[in-house]
Structure 1
Amino acid sequence: MATIVSHHCRRALVPLVSSTSTWLSLSSRNYFSSSPRAGFSSSKATSDSKPHTSNSATVKSKSSPEGELQPLSRPLGVTEKPAIRHQTKLERLKEVLTNDEAIAEQRKHLVKEAVTKGYFHDLNATRRHGGKTWIAPKVLIREDRSLYFPDIVGKSLADGSERHTTSMCMGKISVITILSTKISEIHAASFTTPTLARFASHPLFNHLQINLQLNALKSILVSLFLSSLRRTIPPEQHPFYLVSSQNIEYQRDAIGLANDRVGYVYLVDENLRIRWAGCADATADEARALEVCTGMLVTRLDKRKREMKEKGKKLLEELQQDRASER
């Protein structure tokens, strides 16, 4: 939807849009766990499972030069736990027309689009920092402050069946990459290569790729060339590669998807919470941070599962002993 706003309206609306980001900046210091003492040592990182407050992922300081990239300043994600069932267009329209909160959400979204984005916004943004809008954190987002990765539905490259990210990622540690262009694939690989080399074969680890086409024409073209896509993607990745045209317009800001020309990487825990995120081309520190943070989550989940298995085994033995004594 194209919206035309006069120069005076823009000046009046800018404070409305910037106020939210200002509040988030002021409160960001409590969102992240403390970084390991030994830098990026995986052995040290996996031993610290308690969430702590950290200043390692702080926000823009007053002395920072204008336009300099800053660390991620807020948790990404949606507040409601995702469900597999989505609203139909009729249900969404009814909600927008009758629900006050939905009307306010719609108004806020339109205001932001009118003030901050033009038709070539994403393309022009790639000329600045290569489309990168934040520096990925060196540590995990605290579990008690983290938000949910929204459910995205797409067709599996393996057999064309419809699959949901919610059911695919529940109970596992997942690295989810959102792709839309060839350059976004390169961006994602710059983040994930070390992590996949270490964890790809781990039974508690998932690597999910989502080819998300928000443009209707591009979505049709991708669908037409699925056979070509299958030839370029390794066969073992087909079950975990989704092609989607889902409208996530109202979740884009929540998950930090500011530019659909670049790649986005999300580290999602077994409860579907986003615990880390990165965008565009990765630095060496960002790629290493993803590997270490993934290792922390995988180690914790593996430990919990082993403890649960041992408890179950002990309960079974006690039950068998009780039955034997009754005889």
Structure 2
Amino acid sequence: MWIAPRVLIREDKALYFPDVKGVSLDNRSTVHTTTACAGRITLLSVLSTKISELHAQSFVEQALEQHKGNKNFQYMQINLQENLLKSWLVSLSLSSLRKTVPPEFQSTYLLSNQNMEYLRVPLGMENKHIGYSYLLDDNLKIRWAGCGFARPEESEALANCTRVLLDRLDSGPSSPTTSKKPDSPKAA
């Protein structure tokens, strides 16, 4: 675990978030993060257990409250179950999961059993049992990350960093890199 940064990760130092394939909770359609997140500021949480949901919620509450009405902002949750048996059990409980996830988030709530073994270390996801929250820019780069339970200053930093990215996106392309498609979204 680490303490989340107070400011954005520089764009030239930021890694791309990998393509994660999952099934959306609302209509069970296949969704790829590279297509769902491109062109928008995405607050993305990776969940695997009930406690990881609480971890993510502690980070995202303030940012969601401040930015949920912005058309360039979305919140995506990935319920990542790499164990096939656990993935099957989660798929059996879809109706109860739909009752707990608010309707406005069901289209961006993904169920995935993708193997992340080689992506965990670059993403800082070394503990499978805690929740991770990432702030992705419109080019799919990880500009902020946090894990575990948020300290008050960490959740405030996430809300502020989200505002900065949204302001930059709303003001138009500030550099040649913001107006082009991502170079390599599958590379972590």
The answer, yes or no, to whether TM exceeds 0.5 is yes
What is the identity, as a one-letter code, of the residue corresponding to 1:274? I
TM-superposed CA distance for 1:158, in Å, is 0.5
Q: Give 1:174's aligned residue.
A: 42
- SS for the counterpart of 1:254 is helix
Q: Give 1:274's aligned residue.
A: 142
TM-superposed CA distance for 1:176, in Å, is 0.3
What is the identity, as a one-letter code, of the residue corresponding to 1:262? I
What is the identity, as a one-letter code, of the residue corresponding to 1:241? Y
TM-superposed CA distance for 1:214, in Å, is 1.4
What is the identity, as a one-letter code, of the residue corresponding to 2:139? N
Q: Give 1:144's aligned residue.
A: 12
* Whole-Å separation in 2 of the counterparts to 1:274 and 1:253: 14
Identity of aligned pairs, percent?
54
Note the alpha carbon deviations across 1:157-212, whole angstroms, 9 max, x for none.
01001001111100000000000111111110100000000101100001000000
What is the identity, as a one-letter code, of the residue corresponding to 1:231? K
* Whole-Å separation in 1 of the counterparts to 2:12 and 2:120: 22
Larger Rg: 1
TM-superposed CA distance for 1:260, in Å, is 1.1
- Number of residues paired by the alignment? 174
1:153 counterpart = 2:21: yes
Q: Which has the higher strand share?
A: 2
Note the alpha carbon deviations across 1:197-251, whole angstroms, 9 max, x for none.
0101100001000000111111110011111111111111110100000011111
Q: Give 1:42's aligned residue.
A: none
What is the identity, as a one-letter code, of the residue corresponding to 2:153? D
Any gaps of 5 or more consecutive residues in structure 1?
A: 1-132, 306-327
Q: Give 1:104's aligned residue.
A: none
Mapping of residues 45-124 of structure 1, within 5 Å:
none
Q: Which has the higher helix share?
A: 1
| Equivalent of residue 184 in structure 1, options 52, 62, 81 | 52
1:248 counterpart = 2:130: no
- SS for the counterpart of 2:123 is coil
What is the identity, as a one-letter code, of the residue corresponding to 1:179? L
Alpha carbon RMSD of aligned pairs, Å? 1.1
* Whole-Å separation in 1 of the counterparts to 2:54 and 2:10: 29
* Whole-Å separation in 2 of the counterparts to 1:267 and 1:237: 16
Scaled by the length of structure 1, the TM-score of the pair is 0.52
TM-superposed CA distance for 1:257, in Å, is 0.5
Note the alpha carbon deviations across 1:124-170, whole angstroms, 9 max, x for none.
xxxxxxxxx11000011001111100010100001001001111100
- SS for the counterpart of 2:97 is helix
Instruction: Identify which of structures 1 and 2 has the higher relative contact order when contacts are C-alpha pairs closer than 8 Å and 6+ apart.
Output: 2
Any gaps of 5 or more consecutive residues in structure 2?
A: 174-188
* Whole-Å separation in 2 of the counterparts to 1:262 and 1:181: 7
